[in-house]
Structure 1
Amino acid sequence: MNSWLKQSGAVGLDSLELADFPDTGRGVKTLRPFKEGEKILTIPAGILWTVKHAYADPLLGPALRSAQPPLSVEDTLATYILFVKSRESGYDGQRSHVAALPTSYSSSILFAEDDLEACVGTSLYTITKQLEQSIEDDHRALVVRLFVQHPDLFPLDKFTVEDYKWALCTVWSRAMDFVLADGNSIRLLAPFADMLNHTSEVKQCHVYDPSSGNLSVLAGKDYEAGDQVFINYGPVPNSRLLRLYGFVIPGNPNDSYDLVLSTHPQAPFFEQKQKLWVSAGLDSTATIPLTLTDPLPKKVLRYLRIQRLDASGLAVIARQQTDATDGKISDSNEVEILRFLVESFSYLLDSFGTPLEKLEQQLAEGVYSPGGNAWAAAHVSLGEQRVLRLARKRAEELLSAVESGSGNVRNRCANCGKGSAQLSLCGRCKAVAYCGRACQVAHYKQHKARCQATASKSG
């Protein structure tokens, strides 16, 4: 591959070489020192894998243009890679790059079910299951829309669903994305540069030049001869690292949990609430990342304050000159959303296949083979459970503060919110009260997880 790269105008290859490293496997080694910010490598525009180049190919381009609707960026690049891989002549340079790619990947979509079971309850588990089905569907669509229309270009024995998965994993794990000055974006694969491994210990150092179309890599720190050269993918949680790149970082400080909040359009006062969500920079369906440093973002509270507004609350906000949802609207509204969050986080934590403490013990005892698929999946579960524990604790603290500050919260029904002197405490947890049996039964599904958690603590 190096001779093709040099002939194509790649710069910097004389100071680098591919090597195997004990911690990361295949990577790039320096042959001389580099100072931080120094240009290490430049891959010219003409040999980058891009959608533009796929459409410009004299054989592949016309076939791609015939597909309706047009292929996605991912499918275009995956098809481009498989097309070159399948050719026996005419693409020697690009085929040398394909030959240097891994023959297999460790993305979660390739896990055996037993390995994936280690992260039951995580967002990764859910997304992986969804991806497995969508990949099957997408491949069938590609066969109909493109492959069978051009059998001379796409022999089906070389464009199987397993080939397609391999090509997708190649794109996910090795492509680079850049946002251009005009707001558009470009996704590309750069030969040799795609062999660089990730670490958060270097500055982000891969650069795309829109004027030349070249891809350059700068030194993200000082390097001595023999060091491995790294790039930085950015602050990526383990769930995304394993899904796209096939590895995890134990104790990843960027671990997160994507909390999805949604409201049905038929819900009461939906149109008024939608306007409030938009003014708050949200929407009726919002995905908000919970992180180790900010486990309960203000956006979550703002969304729920709006969602739980009744007619009187909407009338109050309508009279305000500023956005009242940035802070507590009322004690009853705040208590309602915080109770909902505590119970929801408890429910989510209960849905994990292995609880946090047991998972930590299993990892410490070597139950999962270090570096294996199940081990990696377990670390994803560990990170997401830690985030959700912190989120629940924060919600409990805020709830306690509101309850102690208002003085009369336990004089309100946990289901309907009405105040009464005749309320009855939950017989198990003693933490909430109801105005009657009907409200207690109606609220049980929502309250169950918190009730069990509170009762076990007090017991």
Structure 2
Amino acid sequence: MTVKLQEWLGKGGAEGLSWLQLENFPDTGRGVKTLRPLKLNDVVLTIPGSFLWTIEAAFDDSVLGPIIRSVKPSLSVEDTLAVFLLFIKSREEGDEELEVCSGSSLYYLTQQLKQQIKDDYLQLLNNLFSKHPDIFLLERFTQNDYMWALCTIWSRAMDFQLPDKQFRCIAPFADMLNHSPDVQLCHIYNPRSDSLQVFINYGPVPNNRLLRLYGFVLPNNPYDSYDLILSTHPGAPFYDQKVALLESAGLQVNATFALTLSDPLPLDVLRYLRIQRLLSSEISAMVVNREARNIVSARNEAEILKALIESFEGLLANFGIPLEELQEKIAFGLYKQGDNVWAAAHVSIGEQRILRMALQKTRELLALVICAQCGKADEDNKRCSRCRKVVYCGRDCQKKHYKKHKVICD
């Protein structure tokens, strides 16, 4: 494919690249720089389909094609492309970042993917590599080599939904173009002209996904998020009734909620937990009276908010390096700008910031449910008439708490 790219450049393809040049950017690392301003919907690059890395290109290879077509069960698209990359690489040749983001969703997902890669490699080894040792030299098709190839597919491939099939490819040079959240499109494949038009937007993607799929991050990414997973065990009390209530509220029993900078504690999280923590009497009231579904008891609300606070505090405690320490390391240049450790630090910073916002919002909500002095949860608790940020169960508790509260009351 390197030869084919050189042929394309030699035949005039370079004209389309005359206003693009490779650049090392201080924030995002290696990428492509435009030498003229871009307007909305400007096409950055058009690449002929014959230069794309696809499973069809792998099948057309005179040596590799017949072999991978004969593999049973058939290889997945990702494994076909990964083997293709490894095959070309073998012919051409003669985890600090994980610790930095420990505690983040990216960390746990990466650990799962490592095990998946190990299992998938063993299948490839048994079904393909070991059966053709003359083609797949085992010292060049190791598990680490497979991981490199597969991660290249994950971070560089482009996906398109065509009328008759799902189309995935790797496009030379196009994967160097950096992301901008200020434009509307990423890339378009035109099956009529068999060409790929490249823009520079990957969509509203958080840093944990940008790093995992594309290998870079955006500092202070406005689309950062943390995926909060909630589930209810089948052995939980009144499971069937609660499942029915969850479904009637449009919620799944095993649900993932995106906590974001703009909405660190979505209402659906509270709705889910309210149903999960219902007592038998509260469930019966909701079944009999549909209007009761909008009524939340102080007991129920206090219970779910306390549970959330405990969960958020636990999640934050699991991060290997606290937010402030990561920010200091970046500010003082202790992480080389643009490398994997630096990028992982930004993932951790973004997720910790969101979890702290969620924790703060949860604490504020709890302060409106339980008495600030005695902690009693009651529907008759009354807010402080001045700041309206805390509640009291009665006059006595309000007087006892006054010395502490007057410092923050405004």
TM-score of the aligned structures, taking structure 2 as reference length: 0.79
Structure 1 residue 212, shift from structure 2 partner: 4.5
Residues 1:54 and 1:388: Cα distance change in structure 2 (over 3 Å): same
Encode CA deviations 1:328-347: one digit per residue, 9 max, x unaligned: 53222222111111111111
Contact 2:53–2:169 (CA<8 Å) still a contact in 1?
A: yes
Encode CA deviations 1:60-94: one digit per residue, 9 max, x unaligned: 44433443443333222211222233347xxxxxx
Q: 1:297 aligns with which of 241, 260, 266?
A: 266
1:189-228 equivalences in 2 (<5 Å): 189-218=170-199
**1:275 to 2:244 alignment:** yes
Q: Provide the residue aligned with 1:424 in structure 2.
A: none
Structure 1 residue 296, shift from structure 2 partner: 0.7
1:46-445 equivalences in 2 (<5 Å): 46-55=50-59, 57=61, 59-87=63-91, 111-112=95-96, 115-180=97-162, 185-218=166-199, 231-321=200-290, 324=293, 327-403=294-370, 410=376
- Give aligned-pair identity as a percent: 54
Structure 1 residue 25, shift from structure 2 partner: 4.7
Structure 1 residue 392, shift from structure 2 partner: 0.9
Contact 2:41–2:184 (CA<8 Å) still a contact in 1?
A: no
Instruction: Measure the CA separation in 1 of the matches of 2:299 and 2:290.
Output: 22
Contact 1:9–1:44 (CA<8 Å) still a contact in 2?
A: no
Encode CA deviations 1:290-344: one digit per residue, 9 max, x unaligned: 11111011221122122222322222232345793xx553222222111111111
Structure 1 residue 373, shift from structure 2 partner: 3.5
Residue type matched to 1:276 in 2? L
Q: Provide the residue aligned with 1:39 in structure 2.
A: 43
Instruction: Measure the CA separation in 2 of the matches of 1:179 and 1:280.
Output: 32
Instruction: Measure the CA separation in 2 of the matches of 1:266 and 1:278.
Output: 18
Instruction: Measure the CA separation in 2 of the matches of 1:321 and 1:361.
Output: 53
Instruction: Measure the CA separation in 2 of the matches of 1:239 and 1:334.
Output: 31
Contact 2:29–2:339 (CA<8 Å) still a contact in 1?
A: no
Contact 1:120–1:353 (CA<8 Å) still a contact in 2?
A: yes
Residues 1:28 and 1:361: Cα distance change in structure 2 (over 3 Å): closer
Instruction: Measure the CA separation in 1 of the matches of 2:311 and 2:232.
Output: 15
Name the stretch that deviates more: 253-262 or 170-179: 170-179
Instruction: Measure the CA separation in 2 of the matches of 1:205 and 1:373.
Output: 23
Structure 1 residue 242, shift from structure 2 partner: 2.5
Instruction: Measure the CA separation in 1 of the matches of 2:112 and 2:207.
Output: 18
Instruction: Measure the CA separation in 2 of the matches of 1:133 and 1:295.
Output: 31
Instruction: Measure the CA separation in 2 of the matches of 1:7 and 1:334.
Output: 68
Q: Provide the residue aligned with 2:16 in structure 1.
A: 13
Name the stretch that deviates more: 188-197 or 29-38: 29-38
Contact 1:17–1:29 (CA<8 Å) still a contact in 2?
A: yes
Residues 1:48 and 1:328: Cα distance change in structure 2 (over 3 Å): farther
Where do 5+ consecutive residues of structure 1 fail to align? 89-98, 100-110, 219-230, 413-430, 432-457
Residue type matched to 2:124 in 1? L
Residue type matched to 2:328 in 1? Q
Contact 1:10–1:41 (CA<8 Å) still a contact in 2?
A: no
Residues 1:38 and 1:378: Cα distance change in structure 2 (over 3 Å): closer
Name the stretch that deviates more: 63-72 or 335-344: 63-72
Structure 1 residue 404, shift from structure 2 partner: 6.0
Where do 5+ consecutive residues of structure 2 fail to align? 379-390, 392-407
Instruction: Measure the CA separation in 1 of the matches of 2:216 and 2:227.
Output: 19
Instruction: Measure the CA separation in 2 of the matches of 1:8 and 1:333.
Output: 71
Residue type matched to 1:402 in 2? V
Residues 1:328 and 1:367: Cα distance change in structure 2 (over 3 Å): farther
**SS of alignment partner, residue 148 of structure 1:** helix
Structure 1 residue 45, shift from structure 2 partner: 2.7
Contact 1:10–1:42 (CA<8 Å) still a contact in 2?
A: no
Q: Provide the residue aligned with 1:223 in structure 2.
A: none
Residues 1:150 and 1:280: Cα distance change in structure 2 (over 3 Å): farther
Structure 1 residue 348, shift from structure 2 partner: 1.2
Structure 1 residue 244, shift from structure 2 partner: 2.8
Contact 2:186–2:203 (CA<8 Å) still a contact in 1?
A: no
Instruction: Measure the CA separation in 2 of the matches of 1:280 and 1:50.
Output: 43
Aligned residues: 375
Instruction: Measure the CA separation in 1 of the matches of 2:163 and 2:75.
Output: 25
Instruction: Measure the CA separation in 2 of the matches of 1:68 and 1:266.
Output: 41
Residue type matched to 1:148 in 2? S
Residues 1:18 and 1:340: Cα distance change in structure 2 (over 3 Å): same
Structure 1 residue 259, shift from structure 2 partner: 0.8
Structure 1 residue 389, shift from structure 2 partner: 0.7
Residue type matched to 1:348 in 2? L
Structure 1 residue 3, shift from structure 2 partner: 3.9
Over aligned residue pairs, what C-alpha RMSD do you find?
Answer: 3.3
Encode CA deviations 1:19-76: one digit per residue, 9 max, x unaligned: 2334355433446665432334222333322334434555444433443443333222
